[in-house]
Homo-oligomer: A and B are copies of this chain.
Amino acid sequence: MSTLGLIEYKNASPEVRAVYDDIMATRKTDWINNFWKAIAHDPATLKRTWDDVKQIMAPGALDPLTKETIYVAVSVTNQCNYCIASHTVGAQKKGMTDAMFKELIAVVGLANEINKAVTGYQVEIDEQFKTRR
């Protein structure tokens, strides 16, 4: 379910199917998760979003597992349950072990704690950290 409903492959237009096919080929799976089916009502958004994901999450200076790890960290900080569920599975597929997951959550918790302590104490930025060019 979703606000506008989900567009299944069998009911999809050729341009939507083309994106679905690319998602499945790229991810080496035979199914499409609900997020894509929800935004497929707007084929331009579907294509743009998938193109962005493909470009941004591809191997680069950071490897795909590190990128999934960052994605989970953001999703946890934002309390997005769907995103946590889907990207935790995604990270596990890319090699995240239980030990790595536990450390990830510990760092996310710590950063959230200290972010607020710093702000609460109204701490001024040290000159040494003003390295912006």
Question: Is the beta-carbon distance between B124 and A89 smaller than 8 angstroms?
Answer: no
**Which chain A residues numbered 101 to 133 have a C-beta less than 8 Å away from chain B?**
101-126, 128-133
Contact of A74 among B33, B82, B112, B125 (CB under 8 A): B112
Given contacts A78-B112, A108-B70, contact A39 B129 (CB under 8 A): no
Indicate with 1 or 0, residue by residue over A44-75, a CB within 8 angstroms of chain B CB atoms. Answer: 11001100110111001110001101111111
Q: State whether A89 and B129 are in contact (beta carbons under 8 Å apart), knowing that A103-B61, A111-B74 are contacts in the complex.
A: yes
Query: How far does the alpha carbon of A43 sit from the alpha carbon of B128 in the complex, in Å?
Result: 24
Q: What residues of B have a CB within 8 angstroms of the CB of A52 in the complex?
A: 48, 52, 110
Number of A interface residues, CB 8 Å?
85
Q: Taking chain A's interface residues, is the majority helix, strand, or loop, or is none over half, making it mixed?
A: helix
Q: Does the CB pair A121–B38 fall under 8 Å?
A: yes
Query: Which residues of the other chain, B, contact A66 by a CB distance below 8 angstroms?
Result: 66, 69
CB distance from A26 to the nearest CB of B (A): 15
Q: Is the CB of A61 within 8 A of B97?
A: yes
Mark A15-42 against chain B: 1 for CB-CB distance below 8 A, else 0.
Answer: 0000000000000000101110011011
